[in-house]
Chains A and B, each alone.
Chain A
C-alpha cells in the first residue's frame, strides 16, 4: 500500500494489461491474436466451404431422380462422398488430407493450412443442409418457371435460390457453429485460435480462469451468431 500523495504511474489508472496477464496467465494481445486466428479460419472456411457446399448441394438437387439434370452417376458419386466425409471425425480428416494440404498451401501447419481440412470437413455438411433448403422449394414454383420459358440457370438463380434463401441462412448458421468446433483442433497443426488457447494454455496448464474465459467467449460468440442468423432468416421470410 502506497501512501496517498505518492502515487506511481502504474497505480494512477487501472493497468488492464498487467491485471490480465496476472489473472489469466497470458497476455491480452495473445488472446486477441487467438481471436483473430479463429475468425480467420471461420471466415474463410465458411466462405469457401459454403461455395463448395453449394455446388455439391446443386448437384444433389439437380441430378436427383426427377431433377432438372437427372443423372444417377453424378448424384451417386456426390451422395456417397458427402456421406463418407460426414461420417469421419474431424481429427481424422485433418490428418488424412495432409498430402493435399501440402500440395495446395505448401505446408501442413498454420491457420491457412488448416483451411483445407476445414473446407473439406464442412462443405459436405453444408451441402446436406442446403440440399434440404433447396428441396423445400415447391415443385409448383419450378413448374411455373419452366412454363414461362426460364432457362435452367434462370430457374436456379431467379426462383430456387431466392425461395430457399431464408432457410439457407439458418443452414449456414448451423454450419458455422459446427465449423467453430472444428477450428478448436487447429492446435494440432499450429493453427492457433481460441480453441487452441483453451487446450494448450487453459487445460494443459491447469489454468482454470483462462479455460473459463475461453469457454465464455465461445458461448457468447455462438449465441450472437445464432441470433444474427435467426434475425436475417426471419427478415428474409417476413413476407410469407
Chain B
C-alpha cells in the first residue's frame, strides 16, 4: 500500500543542514496499523509527510497505492491526497466554525453536491459518535471531541489510508484510549490502512500490528509488534519497550540480589500467547538444588495476544543454572540475562 524506498531529506538549517531522513525505507501493507515510534526530532513527521506529498524526498521514491508520487503532476497529487486522510496532534480544525462545516470542507473542495455532503457528514459523524454535536462550534468541544471531529474530517472523503501525526499526544490517558479504540474501529470496519507516529510505546502496544523505530533520521528497527516487544535489539528500542515492559531488576529486590552470596543469575523471560505449553516455572522450581525467586511478573496485551513477562532469580550451582537456562530456551520462551551493579 505504501512503499518508501531509500528516502533522503535534508533541510537547510540556520548554521548547518538538518538531516531529517537518512536513507529510510518503509513498507506498509493494506490493512496494517503501522506505528512509527521515536523521540522528538527523529524524523517521524517528515517521513509521514512524504506519504501524502507534503514533503518531497531529495532522493528516493514514495509509492502509494501503486502510484509513484514523484511522477504525478499537481492535479494528480491533489486527487491522491483526497484518498489519504490526515489527523494532527493539534487537531488543526477551523475553531470558529461548526463541526458540520469542518467535516463538510473536504467534500466541498472535492465538489460534491450539497445534499450528498449533508448525508456523508451525518454518516461519518455517526461513526465517530458525535452526531449530536453537528451544529456545535469546535471551540466549544473538549480535546477528545475535537480529535473525533479531526478523524471524521479525515474520513469524509472515504480514504484508503489514514495518516496520524501524534493524534493522541495532546490528550489525557482515558481520552487517548478512546481515540485509539476509534482508530482501531476505522481500521477494522472501514478497512482503512493506518500509518501513525507517536512517541508513546503504549500507543503502539494498544493498536498497532507493525512498528518501526526511528532515531536520527533512520529506521533502526522494524517488525511485528510482538517481535519488537519480545526481542528489542537497538538501544533506543529497548528504551521504548522499557516504558511498557520493565526489563530491570525491581528496585525493591536489588538489595536481595546484591546480598546473595551463592551463585546466581537473574533472567528476564517473555512468553508470547500460548506458545509455551508446559508449566515451565513449576518445573524449574522442582529442580533439586535450584532456588527460584520470582522478582517480577506482568501480563501485557498486544496485537490480540498476550505477553507474560517474568523476572526470575535462579540460585544454585553454575551447572544447574545453565541447565535451567537451557530448559527455558528449549521451551520457546524469550530469555535474557539481566545484570546489576554490585
Interface residues of B in 55-113 (CB under 8 A from A): 78-82, 84-86, 88, 90, 92-97, 105-106, 108-110
Known contacts A141-B92, A144-B86, A149-B109: A240-B139 contact under CB 8 Å? yes
Using Cβ atoms and an 8 Å threshold, which residues of chain A touch B105?
Answer: 148, 158
Using Cβ atoms and an 8 Å threshold, which residues of chain A touch B93?
Answer: 144
Residue of B nearest to A239 (CB): B137
Assess the B94–A159 pair: CB atoms within 8 A.
yes
Residue of B nearest to A148 (CB): B106
B157 at the interface (CB under 8 A from A): yes
Using Cβ atoms and an 8 Å threshold, which residues of chain B touch A141?
Answer: 92, 94
Using Cβ atoms and an 8 Å threshold, which residues of chain B touch A162?
Answer: 94, 96-97
Q: How large is the interface on B (under 10, 10 to 19, 20 to 34, 35 or more residues)?
A: 20 to 34
A146 to B54, CA, bound (A): 7
A12 at the interface (CB under 8 A from B): no
Interface residues of A in 126-179 (CB under 8 A from B): 138, 140-141, 143-144, 146-151, 154, 158-159, 162-163, 166
B176 at the interface (CB under 8 A from A): no
State which of A140, A149, A239 has its C-beta within 8 Å of the C-beta of B92.
A140
A196 to B95, CA, bound (A): 46
A166 to B225, CA, bound (A): 48
- Which B residues are closer than 8 A to A by beta carbons? 52, 54, 78-82, 84-86, 88, 90, 92-97, 105-106, 108-110, 137, 139-140, 153-154, 157, 163
A55 to B114, CA, bound (A): 31
Assess the B96–A237 pair: CB atoms within 8 A.
yes
Residue of B nearest to A142 (CB): B92
* Distance to closest chain B CB from A148 (angstroms): 4
A154 to B95, CA, bound (A): 18
| Extra contacts besides A150-B109, A162-B94, A237-B96 (17): CB < 8 Å | A138-B90, A140-B88, A141-B92, A144-B93, A147-B54, A147-B84, A147-B86, A147-B163, A148-B85, A148-B153, A149-B81, A149-B106, A158-B105, A158-B109, A159-B94, A238-B96, A240-B96
State which of B54, B90, B96, B109 has its C-beta within 8 Å of the C-beta of A236.
B96
Residue of A nearest to B75 (CB): A151
8 pairs from A and B in contact (CB 8 Å cutoff)? A140-B88, A147-B52, A148-B153, A151-B78, A154-B109, A162-B96, A166-B96, A239-B140
A138 to B89, CA, bound (A): 13
Assess the A149–B110 pair: CB atoms within 8 A.
yes
Using Cβ atoms and an 8 Å threshold, which residues of chain B touch A236?
Answer: 96
Q: Identify the 6 closest CB pairs spanning chains A and B, nearest first.
A: A149-B81, A147-B86, A140-B92, A144-B92, A239-B137, A148-B106
* Distance to closest chain B CB from A66 (angstroms): 11
A168 to B100, CA, bound (A): 25
Residue of B nearest to A155 (CB): B109
Assess the A143–B82 pair: CB atoms within 8 A.
no
* Distance to closest chain A CB from B57 (angstroms): 17
A162 to B95, CA, bound (A): 11
* Distance to closest chain A CB from B2 (angstroms): 15
Using Cβ atoms and an 8 Å threshold, which residues of chain A touch B97?
Answer: 162, 239
Assess the B82–A149 pair: CB atoms within 8 A.
yes
Residue of B nearest to A146 (CB): B54
A238 to B97, CA, bound (A): 10
Residue of A nearest to B157 (CB): A148
Using Cβ atoms and an 8 Å threshold, which residues of chain B touch A240?
Answer: 95-96, 137, 139
Assess the A140–B90 pair: CB atoms within 8 A.
yes
State which of A140, A149, A158, A163 has its C-beta within 8 Å of the C-beta of B78.
A149
